[in-house]
């Protein structure tokens, strides 16, 4: 069996959110619609086998361009085109591997968030014209949320840095919130709300509230 692999060695900083005037808007962005939410700097493994997505990935690799990842609002991942929510995340292909004909495994890295301005289909492939969101400001973690930072540090300590690769920015409220948002086992609708939140400290407050509710549910009845 022939095995084909590839690695995209572009700098990680090229994939994270940053204000680039030339990229405020992107037209004809192909979309991968999933029952999942991708956060900036998160890694997303995908198994690609549908013809429309194989063609999309091939085209992205040829020109070193991203595709978009959006949570499905209505429909399914496989088969007829689904409808997405309006806010998604750019995804850049970092690695790819074809272990068998017709099945492609890729590892994508989340970049800037975007908002869909026009959504349409071309040959069953979802596409959109989008407006990119600028990066959130780097703000310190307020004292009332330091417990969340410690919680994230403990998770990484328990499971290793492969879960959240270096560099770690534990003093950045946006980074801490995004990492907790990607890791916590909550409904995709909740994660989507955290993705759409543009205030880092408000996101931390929402995450703290969810964790309090989870902890209360786990407490044994007296």
Which tokens go with 163?
Answer: 């879960």
Cα 100 to Cα 103: distance, rounded to the nearest angstrom: 6
- What share of the chain has pLDDT > 90, as a percent? 70
Residue 138 maps to a domain: no
What is the total count of domains within the chain? 2
Q: Give the strand pairing for 87-100 and 103-122.
A: antiparallel
Last residue of a domain, one of 132, 167, 188: 132
Position 221 pLDDT exceeds 80? no
Q: What are residue 110's DSSP bridge partners?
A: 91
Residues 124 and 52 reside in one and the same domain: yes
Cα 58 to Cα 55: distance, rounded to the nearest angstrom: 5
- pLDDT value at residue 140: 97
- pLDDT value at residue 8: 52
* pLDDT tens digits, 126-156: 999 999 999 899 999 999 999 999 999 999 9
Position 92 pLDDT exceeds 80? yes
Residues 170 and 125 reside in one and the same domain: no
Residue 78 maps to a domain: yes
- pLDDT value at residue 44: 96
Domain range for 156 is: 143-218
Residue 51 maps to a domain: yes
Q: Give the strand pairing for 25-34 and 67-74.
A: parallel
Residue 109 maps to a domain: yes
CATH number at residue 106: 2.30.130.40
Residues 105 and 188 reside in one and the same domain: no
Residue 137 maps to a domain: no
Last residue of a domain, one of 132, 151, 176: 132
- pLDDT value at residue 93: 96
Residue 205 maps to a domain: yes
Residues 123 and 159 reside in one and the same domain: no
For residues 196-205, give the mean pLDDT. Answer: 97
Residues 110 and 164 reside in one and the same domain: no
* pLDDT tens digits, 15-53: 444 444 445 899 999 999 999 999 999 999 999 998 888
For residues 84-108, give the mean pLDDT. Answer: 93
Residues 128 and 189 reside in one and the same domain: no
Q: Is 58 helix (H, G, I), strand (E, B) or coil?
A: helix
For residues 116-121, give the mean pLDDT. Answer: 95
- pLDDT value at residue 38: 98
- Which string of b and e fits 103-120 if b means at least 16 CB within 10 Å? ebbbbbbbbbbbebeeee
**Using alpha carbons only, what angle is made at residue 130 by residues 83 and 110, rounded to the nearest 5 degrees?**
85
Residue 10 maps to a domain: yes
Residues 214 and 150 reside in one and the same domain: yes
Residues 187 and 128 reside in one and the same domain: no
Residues 57 and 88 reside in one and the same domain: yes
- pLDDT value at residue 212: 93
Looking at per-residue pLDDT, the higher value among 71 and 10 belongs to 71
Position 14 pLDDT exceeds 50? no
CATH number at residue 162: 1.10.4060
Specify the DSSP element, H or E, that contains 5: strand 4-7
Residues 127 and 154 reside in one and the same domain: no
Residues 14 and 33 reside in one and the same domain: yes
């Amino acid at each position: 069996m022939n095995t084909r692999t590839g690695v995209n060695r572009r700098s990680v900083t090229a994939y994270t959110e940053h204000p680039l005037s030339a990229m405020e808007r992107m037209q004809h962005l192909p979309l991968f619609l999933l029952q999942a939410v991708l956060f900036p700097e998160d890694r997303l493994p995908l198994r690609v086998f549908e013809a429309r997505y194989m063609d999309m990935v091939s085209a992205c690799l040829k020109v070193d361009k991203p595709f978009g990842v959006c949570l499905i609002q209505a429909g399914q991942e496989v088969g007829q085109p689904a409808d997405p929510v309006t806010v998604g995340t750019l995804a850049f292909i970092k690695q790819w591997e074809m272990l068998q004909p017709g099945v492609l495994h890729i590892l994508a890295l989340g970049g800037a968030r975007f908002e869909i301005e026009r959504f349409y289909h071309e040959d069953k492939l979802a596409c959109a014209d989008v407006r990119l969101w600028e990066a959130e400001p780097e703000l310190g973690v307020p004292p009332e949320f330091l417990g969340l930072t410690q919680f994230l540090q403990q998770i990484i300590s328990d499971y290793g840095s492969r879960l959240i690769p270096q560099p770690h920015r534990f003093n950045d409220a946006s980074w801490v919130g995004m990492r907790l948002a990607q890791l916590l086992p909550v409904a995709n609708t909740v994660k989507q709300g955290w993705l759409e939140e543009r205030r880092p400290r408000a996101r931390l407050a929402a995450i703290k509230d969810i964790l309090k509710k989870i902890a209360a549910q786990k407490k044994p009845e007296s």
